[in-house]
Amino acid sequence: MNWSDIAAAATTLFLVMDPLGNVPVFNAVLGRFDPARRTAVMARELLLALLILFGFLFAGNAVLSFLGLTQSSLSIAGGILLFIISLRMIFPQATPPEQRMDSEEPFLVPLAVPLIAGPSTIAILLLLSSRQPDRLDEWSIALFIAWTGTTLLLITSPLLLRILGPQGSRAMERLMGMILVILATQMLLNGIRDFIQTL
């Protein structure tokens, strides 16, 4: 196994999942529950997200073949999505107050999808599985590492918010956004290069 590639893929997936950016949303949606129920709901949503992401990882080639998509188009689309998400991380918008007014317990939406298993994360998994399908075991490890880091960060988010404070969490999210801009640009350039080579 190439652990450097696994680490790079895990880092990219972790940044795209954006756990620091999702902390305020998770706390807004789950803030009305007692700590035990809050942890149980969060664990359930995170497990659902992991199952969905593994499904796209292992079904990547079938999905691309069915839709008639090429790797270059997926790279370009993934780069654009990453770029948009990274800009939102650098220039965040205020969380709508109506999110706190939802009285029902969240199920699948919005915590599992699209906050964790979002379109950018799915695009990266499709890209990895289509480019190197013989390395699905490595990409599975990378996905699990990224998901574990995201889970630990979200579950400990109340403590993290107390330690970092609002300013510190915003600064960390913007730093992650800057790194993601670089990754998005590289993915976009790779897609354009691959497309030009096919002409």
The DSSP annotation for 170-184 comes to: HHHHHHHHHHHHHHH
The ranges assigned to domains in the chain are 3-198
Query: Which position has the higher pLDDT, 146 or 63?
Result: 146
Kindly report, residue by residue over 142-187, the tens digit of the pLDDT: 999 999 999 999 999 888 878 878 788 778 788 888 888 888 898 8
Distance CA 5, CA 158 (A): 32
pLDDT of residue 100: 43
CA distance 87 to 56: 25
Burial of 170 (0-12, 13-18, 19+ CB in 10 A): middle
Higher-confidence residue: 46 or 31? 46
